[in-house]
Chains A and B, each alone.
Chain A
Amino acid sequence: MGSSTVWRHVAQSLQGPSHAADGSACQDSHLVRFVGNKPARTIIACVADGAGSAKRSDLGSAVACETIADCAARYFESYKNFDQLQLEKVIDWCETTRDRLRQTAESNNCKLRDLATTLCVAILSPASSIFFQIGDGAITVGNDGIYGVVFWPQSGEYANVTNFMTSDNYQDHIEFQATTRKFSDLAMFTDGIERLALDFETQTPHLPFFHPLFQAVRNSKAGGSLSDDLAQFLQSDSVKNRSDDDKTLVLATQLTDPSVGGQDAAD
């Protein structure tokens, strides 16, 4: 048996200053779940950004993350891995998600479009990596300090236009990537972080943004203040002055487990 690894992760979804001022809810959501047993577990991570104009998009983004994570976990129970997962199955999950969104809309006396949300999903398992995305936000993955963006954030012609799960034609905009490559670092974020983390002219991740983030996660200790530090970082003036929007950032890194039999940190 090879050396055991653990995932260490930290995540926050926080309201932007302009939304906080008018008392509305944070419209971003995230969810990180682990399946499988040691020595190598699979991470399922979702981030979703509820549309600014949709009145219950806070619910939309939360339901989308939960439903996709549930679908992925059930799939894993049946198949024991994600090595054969294909786009068709992911579309089934999206349809299940849209059904749940419709039910949620009904019980909240609103319409499906009132729950408009984007969705980014990453599943990193011992033998395969799966990614899919509808709308903006991005997934950055890498190894040994070398990072790439899986899908460039989707935008229409204009800066305030993107694609949503709740649109009838969402299948035209779903991007899907499955690979046998493995990645030890994963960052996912909503569009409130995009312009800080990505270089748009070169369409690359901004490394001076990501290196210290992953360094911090790797150096953190179980029971430490990493989560509070991330919240403080996202609410600092230097971040706020650059982006008014709600912000979600999920960071996960795979470490060689120094104490086989230990717990996944912050699991």
Chain B
Amino acid sequence: MDQLSPENAFSSVEFAENPEPRVPCVLIVDTSTSMHGPRIDELNKGLQIYQRELMGDALAAKRVEVAIVTFGGRVTRLVDFVSATEFQPPKLQVIGGTPMGGAVSEALDMIEERKNSYREHGIAYYRPWAFLITDGEPNDHWKPVASRVSAGEKDKSFCFFAVGVEGANMEVLEELSVRKPLWLQGLKFAELFSWLSNSQQMVSRSTPGEEVPLADPTSGPLGWAQV
């Protein structure tokens, strides 16, 4: 159906302008020296793909908000929450050790702050995502943040996902994440970020009572993970 003809009785109706409901996602990315070389290169390419695919979906472009916390030597809020339309994928550089606990904690703080800001402005939102990618093990005090993750999952405050690149300490990730951590197959960062974008596109158009089944990341042509 095209635009209404002027003869249509409802042709002069005007619409309310409300802010779009948001899907916040914070990426918690390991940028310690072990990620150097092809790993960080493929991850950087993955971020470009993520941005491009979100932009290809009119609704997701307006609704998905991306933030990035890196941990390489120290914890950095590299990108504070921006809508996909404003997201400029950074070129990540590697340096230093692996303060993973501090990075996760910082990301969860950002989620809380973002929710407060949504509430203040009457903006509706979907359950936030926290998405951890690492190839190492934490060199900081990470145990307290594990209980924060499990409490947050229990209260449905956010969804926490952990992805291990070869070399990751899976035992730590299993303690940190309530959901089963996944191994990245090789360097399939492109597939991982396509999956992330697809999943968030689904969430961003979901309606009340609709549970969004996430595509199985371990199978199919776009599979990127193994358990």
Contact = CB atoms under 8 A, between A and B. Distances in A.
Interface in B194-223: 203, 205-212
A64 to B, nearest CB: 14
Q: Name B's interface SS.
A: loop
A52 B206 contact: yes
A209 B2 contact: no
Contact of B16 (A51, A195, A220): A195
A196 B16 contact: yes
Nearest to A18: B205
A214 to B, nearest CB: 10
Contacts of A245: 207
Contacts of B15: 196-197, 206, 209, 238-239, 242
Contacts of B18: 195, 198-201
- The CB with the most chain A CB atoms within 10 A, among B2, B16, B125, is that of B16
A4 interface: no
Contact of B59 (A49, A220, A236, A244): A244
Contacts of A241: 58
Given A212-B14, A242-B15, A232 B208 contact: no
Interface in B107-158: 121-122, 124-127, 156
B122 A201 contact: yes
A196 to B, nearest CB: 4
Contacts of A185: none
A237 B1 contact: yes
Contacts of B19: 200-201
B211 to A, nearest CB: 5
Interface stretch (A73-81, A103-111, A155-163, A172-180): A155-163
A116 B8 contact: no
Interface in B1-23: 1-4, 8-16, 18-19, 21
A51 B122 contact: no
B9 A220 contact: yes
Interface in A190-223: 191-192, 195-201, 203, 206, 208-209, 212-213, 216, 219-220
B13 A212 contact: yes
A184 interface: no
A136 B210 CA distance: 14
A212 B12 contact: yes
Interface string B9-43: 11111111011010000000000000000000000
A155 B209 CA distance: 10
A54 interface: yes
A213 B10 contact: yes
Interface of B: 1-4, 8-16, 18-19, 21, 58-59, 121-122, 124-127, 156, 203, 205-212
Interface of A: 18, 49, 51-54, 57, 116, 118, 135-136, 155, 157-162, 164, 191-192, 195-201, 203, 206, 208-209, 212-213, 216, 219-220, 225-226, 229-230, 232-233, 235-242, 244-245
Given A201-B122, A244-B207, 6 more contacts: A52-B207, A53-B209, A118-B208, A159-B125, A232-B10, A236-B2
